[in-house]
Amino acid sequence: MRIIPAIDIIEGKCVRLTKGDYSTRKTYRDNPLDAARKFEAHGIQYLHLVDLDGARSKHIVNHLVLHEIATKTSLKIDFGGGIKSDEDVRIAFESGAAQITGGSIAQQQPALFQRWLTTYGADRIILGADSHHRKIATDGWQQQSEEDVVDFISAYEKEGVRYVICTDIAKDGMLEGPSTDLYREIIARTNIQLIASGGITSVDDLLALQALGCEGAIIGKAIYEGKIGLNELGSFLMRTQK
């Protein structure tokens, strides 16, 4: 299972929100590159980079942060937040993203998202399936649809999607553990490569997700609040890669 630390960006700074609420913003680092380099120094190879300004503005904003991290580390970056157009996708890939995540666009403009899948390939386009009470949420989690998250993922699997990041918004930033029941259902009903996100608080949580069959796990607030140390993550990677 891949370990994928998260860096969320507002005004060029590394921040975290709780349940996607912008009023709960807490800044952890003024320079996200510093955080990325620390992850890299502990043997981590992947990064989940979210443009929260972009999510709210509905177009990519913090591509310069992406470019700096991509050019000054060897981390493989998946980038999301505000990717709404062909131009946004072009900017993200040209700025160094290995993959991009589309969530709102996949729910609101499925034909455009499917065209990206065809153009760039399923290895480079991740489906973002963020939900609250199982209903897909969009636009930086400010809007909620009536579409069931598992049905949403299942439908896109049939269209060729391979990778899904699934966040239970109720768990995000709460440090109360991930939505293992939801992930178990997704894995049982699909053959998708599932990346768990939200609520991960301990190495035990990572072991539980690994046992479920998750392909990856995104960790954010638990790192910044010291619940999971980078040394612990390094040791986890060493044990599981043997």
Model pLDDT for residues 53-103, shown as the tens digit of each residue: 998 899 999 999 999 999 999 999 999 999 999 999 999 999 999 999 998
d(CA 96, CA 73): 11
What token pair was written down for 74? 């060897």
Positions marked active-site: 8, 130
- Work out the pLDDT band at 159, boundaries 50, 70, 90: very high
Question: Domain 2-240 is of which CATH architecture?
Answer: Alpha-Beta Barrel (3.20)
d(CA 52, CA 62): 9
Domain positions in the chain: 2-240
Please name the residues in contact with 165: beta carbons below 8 A apart, sequence gap of 6 or more: 48, 78, 80, 101, 126, 127, 128, 129, 130, 195, 197, 218
3-class secondary structure, 91? helix
- With CA atoms as reference, report the closest residue to 219 among 69, 234, 11: 234
pTM of the model: 0.94
* pLDDT more than 70, % of the chain: 97
What token pair was written down for 187? 């894995």
